Amino acid sequence: MNLIIDVGNTLVKLAVFQDDVLFEKITVQHDGFINAVRKVLNKYPIITKGIISSVGKLNNQDVQIVASEIELLVLNSETKQPYKNLYKTPKTLGVDRIALVSASVEQFPDMNVLIIDAGTCITYDFINTQNEYFGGAISPGIRLRYHSLHNLTANLPLLESKLPKSLIGNTTESSIHSGVVFGVLKEIEGVINEYKEKYSDLTVILTGGDANFLSKQLKNGIFANSNFLLEGLNFILEYNTQ
């Protein structure tokens, strides 16, 4: 069994895999990370190896604690990857994006794939039929947009994410919801259409914390999978330890 650890900007996700099967997924705050790891290892004593992917803050002491319990792979730009990386600054490529592209290689081989990860940021990553990864784009996610409107203006309130009832907001709150949510939706639709003009056989994956919120509003033909990154990490772990 494998222990998969995804350290994000706000939360930590732990997942237990047996081969390609996801047995359990747990989401915790950063300060509860080690306790959660210990509980998982107690529950699944046959876990022998794991992987950590961190885009958030994770201190070396926590990594060493996990590494003392199981064989641990810490994902970075030097980790062997199952595709040809044509990104011009590979050392700055986020480990989350490495995992997402790896998942596409495993699940959609020899295809043109656009992976959209809607989390704190919205990332777009493209890999072609020749297994070549080119890069993509990074833009602010839904929560970042709400926070930016509140933090960088004098009078706009901080709101929770909400699907607007109408394109035309008739209050300040409904105007913010319209601007943020429809802005994100139209951005995603526009990016997809641009890629489809160049790659008519494009496969589109939507993942991340806001995937379920957004997928219902986007057109059909998009694969929504909130566990895509975890599955990619599990694949990288197997790819590097076989």
Torsion of CA 198, 217, 119, 6, to 10 degrees: -90
Please indicate if the annotation marks 11 as binding a ligand: yes
Domain covering 2-74 in this structure, CATH number? 3.30.420.40
* DSSP per-residue string spanning 179-206: IIIIHHHHHHHHHHHHHHHH-TT-EEEE
In DSSP terms, which residues pair with 5 in a beta bridge?
14, 52
Question: Among 62, 96, 125, 210, which one carries the catalytic annotation?
Answer: 96
CA gap 126, 36 in Å, rounded: 34
Q: Is-contact 72 52, C-beta < 8 A?
A: yes
Taking residues 138-164, report their average pLDDT: 95
Please indicate if the annotation marks 131 as binding a ligand: no
CA gap 213, 233 in Å, rounded: 23
Do the domains 84-233 and 2-74 match in fold? yes
What pLDDT digit, counting tens, does each position of 9-39 carry? 778 999 999 988 999 999 998 888 899 999 9
Buried b (16+ CB within 10 A) or exposed e, 39-54: ebbeeeeebeebbbbb
Percent of the chain predicted with pLDDT > 90: 83
- pLDDT of 215 reads 87
Kindly report the backbone phi and psi dihedral angles of residue 59, in degrees, each rounded to the nearest multiple of 5, phi listed first.
-80, 160
Please indicate if the annotation marks 203 as binding a ligand: no
Buried b (16+ CB within 10 A) or exposed e, 85-103: bebeeeeebbbbbbbbbbb
Please check the confidence at residue 48 and state whether its pLDDT lies above 70. yes
* DSSP per-residue string spanning 1-26: -EEEEEE-SS-EEEEEEETTEEEEEE
Write down the domain spans for the chain: 2-74, 84-233
Taking residues 224-242, report their average pLDDT: 94
Please indicate if the annotation marks 110 as binding a ligand: no
Specify the residue for token string 């020749």.
Answer: 130
Please check the confidence at residue 58 and state whether its pLDDT lies above 80. no
- pLDDT of 220 reads 66
pTM for the model stands at 0.92
- pLDDT of 31 reads 84
Q: What is the mean pLDDT of the chain?
A: 93
Please indicate if the annotation marks 180 as binding a ligand: no
- Let me know if 125 is a catalytic residue: no
The CATH number corresponding to 84-233 among 3.40.640.10, 3.40.50.2000, 3.30.420.40, 3.40.50.300 equals 3.30.420.40
Percent of the chain predicted with pLDDT > 70: 99
Please check the confidence at residue 169 and state whether its pLDDT lies above 80. yes
